[in-house]
Amino acid sequence: MKLQQLRYIWEVSRHNLNVSATAQSLFTSQPGISKQIRLLEDELGVEIFARSGKHLTRVTSGGQSIIDLAGQVLRLTDNIKQVAQEHSDERRGSLAIATTHTQARYALPPIISEFTLKYPDVALHMQQGNPKQIAQMVSEGQADFAIATESLELFTDLVLLPCYRWNRCVLVPKGHSLATHQGALTLEALAEHPLVTYVFGFTGRSQLDDAFKAKGLSPNVVLTAADADVIKTYVRLGMGVGIVAHMAVDEAIDTDLVALDASHLFASSTTKIGIRRGTFMRGYMYDFLQRFAPHLTRDLVDEALTAGPRHEQSLFDDIDLPEY
């Protein structure tokens, strides 16, 4: 059994059994991958992939267990490399962050700026996607940290570290009737207007829907987007009233819009960082976490990483998370 063979079956499963696509991603030949998979199956005496002619059709039940174990072996191999690199040069390496647009655009810039100044030899890679996509990136080892509000809990192999709480505001153009609304804004008043907000599954959208449902209201959502800047664009065009994360309001740029506090209307949301269990943590990774969320000390992160699945949440029960 060779490490290369384990990498081949792992990558083939990730590429939906497409050996040609796997070969391209690994810069090798399709026949070479097929041959090595056959050799591994012969050695183990188990068929990992079912076939129809030359095409792989599905992963067998025994094959799935072998692929899962292969993934663990490959991650441990990567950890060995990380340990060696940490001892050879603790300030050199790479950090891959998967996150949503709102975090990348509004929450992360000052953190990234400080981090890159301190660690100029750490290659920083940022990937954007929806919460489920970025959680999967970390689960499969394509990124080190997933930063999001929704969907991370769907992946039980991720350790979830709560970072901060945040809420929403309502955005309208100057001159809009809600801009001169008397008294505190109500859900009933919002329900009278077309709404422009986040796609479901993005940036705390579920709390918004739950709030209207609890009041027996059906909001008229006319347009959804994953990007707060896109939402603001369509608010400016008069498409509707925008509901966005309060952090997405830029006072220097959004001078033509009026932001109305909506924190009393919706339950607050919590942004979390997800880390794959078993990840080897470099020194600069701990530093990044504490810059993003000061309560995430090295000791607390280590304790969370060694806790059982979802048991880490109790470590944060007595911590008053900051409000963004």
Q: Which residues pair with 130 in a beta bridge?
A: none
Select from 157, 156, 144, 154 the least CA-distant residue to 273: 144
> What pLDDT does 183 receive?
80
Residue closest to 45 by CA, chosen among 66, 22, 17: 66
**pLDDT tens readout for residues 14-62:** 888 999 889 888 889 988 898 889 889 889 888 999 988 888 999 998 8
pLDDT value, residue 185: 92
| Helix, strand, coil percent content, the chain, rounded in steps of 5 | 45, 20, 30
The pLDDT value given to residue 233? 96
| pLDDT score, position 77 | 84
Percent of the chain at pLDDT above 90? 52
Q: What's the whole-number average pLDDT of the chain?
A: 89
Question: Does residue 79 register a pLDDT over 80?
Answer: no
Weakest mean pLDDT among 119-133, 173-187, 277-291, 307-321? 307-321
Does residue 167 carry a pLDDT above 70?
yes
Return d(Cα 174, Cα 81) in angstroms, integer.
Answer: 56
As a whole number, mean pLDDT of residues 184-193 equals 92
Q: Per residue in 279-309, is it b (16+ CB within 10 Å) or e — as a string? A: bbbbebbbbbbeebbebbeeebbeebbeeee
269: nearest Cα among 315, 323, 195, 198: 323
Spatial distance between the Cα atoms of 42 and 30, rounded to a whole number of angstroms: 19
Q: What is the mean pLDDT of residues 147-163?
A: 89
Which secondary-structure segment (H or E) carries 306?
helix 298-306
Please count the other Cβ atoms lying within 10 Å of the Cβ belonging to residue 159. 23
Residue 89 scores a pLDDT above 70: no
SS3 91: coil
Burial class (CB in 10 A: 0-12, 13-18, 19+), 9: buried
E strand intervals along 86-237: 93-99, 122-128, 145-148, 158-166, 168-173, 194-198, 220-225
What pLDDT score does 172 carry?
A: 96
- pLDDT top residue among 206 and 289: 289
Residue type, 251: E
Helix 3-14, helix 19-26: angle, nearest 10 = 120
pLDDT > 80? residue 71: yes
**84 pLDDT higher than 80:** no
Q: Is the dihedral of CA 213, 217, 222, 223 positive or negative?
A: negative
Q: What is the mean pLDDT of residues 65-74?
A: 88
- pLDDT confidence of residue 311: 74
- Between 87-101, 217-231, 255-269, the lowest mean confidence (pLDDT) is in 87-101
Does the pLDDT at position 229 exceed 80? Answer: yes
Least confident of 76-85, 101-110, 175-184, 226-235: 76-85
Q: Tell the residue number behind the tokens 């063979």, with chain if given.
A: 5
Give the pLDDT of residue 203.
61
pTM: 0.73
Asked if residue 86 has pLDDT above 90, the reply is: no
Alpha carbon 281 to chain centroid distance? 18
Report whether 78 contacts 67 (CB < 8 A).
Answer: no
Determine the average pLDDT of the residues in 93-121.
94
Find out whether 210 and 267 touch, Cβ atoms under 8 Å: yes
For residue 76, the model assigns a pLDDT of 82
pLDDT on residue 88? 61
- 97 burial (CB, 10 Å; 0-12 / 13-18 / 19+) is buried
> Nearest to residue 65, comparing CAs of 44, 51, 43?
44
pLDDT at 164 over 90: yes
Average pLDDT over every residue of 296-318: 87
Both structure tokens of 315: 């470590």
Q: What pLDDT is stored for residue 204 in this prediction? A: 61
Q: What pLDDT was estimated at residue 264?
A: 92
